[in-house]
Homo-oligomer: A and B are copies of this chain.
Amino acid sequence: MTVKLEDVAELAGVSKTTVSRVLNNRGYISEQTRKKVHEAMEELHYSPNAVARQLFKKETKLVGLIFPSVDNPFFGELAAELEKRLFKQGFKVLIGNSMNDPEKEKAYLKELIGNQVDGLIVGAHNYNIDEYKVTNLPIVAIDRIINDDIPIIASDNYQGGKLATELLISKGAKNIIVTDGPLDFQTPAHNRRIAYESVMKKNKLIPKSFIIDFNWNLDKKIKEIKRMFKTYPNMDAVFATNDADAALIWRIAKRMNIKVPEELKIVGYDRATSTRILLPELTSIEQPVEEMASLAVKTLIKRIKGEKTVPKQIVPVTLWKGESV
Q: Could you list which residues of chain A lie within 8 angstroms of chain B, going by C-beta atoms?
A: 62, 69-73, 76-77, 79-81, 83-84, 87, 92-97, 99, 104, 107-108, 111, 115, 218, 243-244, 247-248, 251, 273-280
Contact = CB atoms under 8 A, between A and B. Distances in A.
Contact of A278 (B92, B93, B104, B247): B247
B71 A77 contact: yes
Contacts of A275: 278
A70 B80 contact: yes
B73 A70 contact: no
A277 B79 contact: no
Given A80-B69, A96-B93, A248 B277 contact: yes
A87 B115 CA distance: 16
Contact of A97 (B72, B73, B84): B84
A87 B110 CA distance: 14
A156 to B, nearest CB: 23
A99 B94 CA distance: 16
A111 B92 contact: yes
A99 B83 CA distance: 10
Contacts of A108: 92
Contacts of A104: 87
Given A76-B70, A76-B76, A277 B95 contact: no
Contact of A83 (B62, B80, B97, B218): B97
